[in-house]
Amino acid sequence: MISKSMRSVTGFFARQWLVQSIRRTPCGTVTLKLFCAQATQNQDSLSRRIERLPKEESVGSAFRSWMRDGFPVHGGDVFHSINRLRKLNKNKRALQVMEWVIRERPYRPRELDYSYLVEFTIKLHGISHGEKLFSRIPVEFQNELLYNNLVIACLDKGVIRLSLEYMKRMRELRFPISHLVFNRLIILHSSPGRKKLIPKLLTQMKADKVPPHVSTYNILMKIEASEHNLENLLKVFCRMKEAQVEPNEISYCILAIAHAVARLYTATEAYVEAVEKSITGNNWSTLDVLLMLYGYLGNQKELERIWNIIQELPSVRSKSYMLAIEAFGRIGQLNRAEEIWLEMKSSKGLKSVEQFNSMISVYCKHGFVDKAARLYKDMKANGCKPNAITYRQLALGCLRSGMAEQALKTLDLGLRLTISKRVRNSTPWLETTLSIVEIFAEKGDVENVERLFEEFHKAKYCRYTFVYNTLIKAYVKAKIYDPNLLKRMILGGARPDAETYSLLKIAEQFRT
């Protein structure tokens, strides 16, 4: 009797906790990641058994073996399994899990279980199938949680109009709309053409009495950071503070990275300190960001400390190895970067072009093109196909080694490949390109500087003064006067500084 009562109480609180911590922030929530990280440490769990199943084997065999060993199937086991499968992008297996739970009923299904069922049905079979399933779910479970997840699932498919209709239905039923729904809508409207509609979404959010949430502000800050708009980024942060929403470690990570990319290192240090104070547990994503930040700041002691913490985690991801290699390379610690490269090679194996690129970038940054070339050959021998990033890094290495002709050939090789917008807008790509542009500028090679500068315009990277100063320097070194340089700079979103005016003054000498 006592055991049954305890189970009921535990089940109640577990249910409440599961509903409150339900997934679905685009960057992921710290709480959920921490939970998953802790649960993963369990060497034998239902989640692990499901993950290890061969593709052809039914999910029921994992449940049967679990129960055969004397373990009951609890909602918490299913919650963790589903979130692990979602993280691994195993949507088909996740749907099979939920279909088994609803069919076999190891416990009384709840709204969360039906919510998962609708989510993965839509992901695999489309919205129409999800809507039919929704209509067959018992009425008592067609509540705010299910409606919110139905709307989010539709938004994940990019279907905005239908989502808005369901939101209208929720208002009629007086169901509160989750901030997560508005988060998805904001993300879908984050492109330059749709961005002007975001203020209307925020106004609607307020009208629906949806309390402001830190994740919403983080998304808004991330949008501004991705466009290299520090001024608007700080405006969002101020609005966040005015709304009395407490920033979290993700907020400070966004601010710190944005200022590091803008080469504002004093402000970066302040935000890094805020990250360290707000960090909750050993959250691997935050630790990865700290690796990058201490690399930018050139702080070897703190970089070593963070890397030691990561190595103590149950599992070190390949991504963490790559970030550590690049961070130590950034501060000139080539031997340390090579040590970590060998550790990654030993523990993870070399399976991707990204792994090779991490070490190639370090060698090329410091002009060790011979070592980079050997890795390039190893990459191809390992079955990894070099991509545009590989060639862009090798072009930099050639320029650092004084091999200008080979650098141009390598640069053109990379330009022939398909380069996604995500890669073109990524900080590593832009910083590598700027390093190349700086070398061309020193030589007064205006033609190649202008050719690559177009990439900065498209990515809005030219909003930084130091980027435009590099362009002006190319004209100065080439002894060419262009009266439109200052105008181009201001229209490009950059603010002239003392160096700008000094360069322009020198350029006036070449006026004819």
Please give the pLDDT value at position 367: 94
Statement: residue 38 has pLDDT above 90? no
Domain termination site, one of 278, 300, 322: 278
**Taking the CB of residue 4, how many other CB atoms lie within 10 A of it?**
8
**Residues ≥6 apart with Cβ < 8 Å to 193:** none
Confirm whether 401 is domain-assigned: no
Cα 289 to Cα 25, 250, 254, 308, 418: the distances in Å are: 18, 10, 9, 14, 28
d(CA 237, CA 243): 10
Tell whether 189 is covered by a domain. Answer: no
Q: Do 467 and 441 meet the contact criterion of CB atoms below 8 Å apart?
A: no
312: tokens are 């103590």
210 torsion bin: left (phi>0), alpha (psi -120 to 50), beta (else): beta
Is 90 exceeded by the pLDDT of residue 506? yes
Task: With respect to residue 496, please indicate whether it lies within any of the assigned structural domains.
Answer: yes
Lowest mean pLDDT among 4-8, 257-261, 354-358: 4-8
3-state secondary structure string, 375-437?
HHHHHHHCCCCCCHHHHHHHHHHHHHCCCHHHHHHHHHHHHCCCCCHHHHCCHHHHHHHHHHH
Report pLDDT for 43: 52
Number of folded domains that form the chain: 2
The whole-number pLDDT of residue 512 equals: 76
% of the chain residues with pLDDT over 70:
92
The per-residue pLDDT for 166 is: 96
Average model confidence (pLDDT) across the chain: 90
What confidence score (pLDDT) does residue 480 get?
Answer: 95
Picking from 221, 252, 278, the residue at the C-terminal end of a domain is 278
Domain termination residue (choose one: 278, 307, 330): 278
pLDDT tens-digit series, residues 306-315: 999 999 998 8
Asked if residue 238 is part of any domain, the answer here is yes
Q: Is residue 435 part of a domain?
A: yes
Where in the sequence is the domain holding 500, given as residue range(s)? 423-511
Q: How confident is the model at residue 192 (pLDDT cuts 50, 70, 90)?
A: confident
In 10 A of CB 13, how many CB atoms? 9
Which one-letter DSSP state was computed for residue 319?
H
Q: How far apart are CA 429 and CA 433, in angstroms?
A: 6
In a domain, 269, yes or no: yes
Query: What share of the chain in percent tops pLDDT 90?
Result: 87
359 in a domain, yes or no? no
> Does position 15 have pLDDT exceeding 60, yes or no?
no
3-state secondary structure of 224: helix
Q: Is position 87 within any domain?
A: no
Average pLDDT over residues 30-42: 38
Among the residue ranges 23-32, 185-194, 203-212, the one predicted with the least confidence is 23-32
Mean pLDDT, residues 36-40: 39
Distance CA 411, CA 364 (A): 13
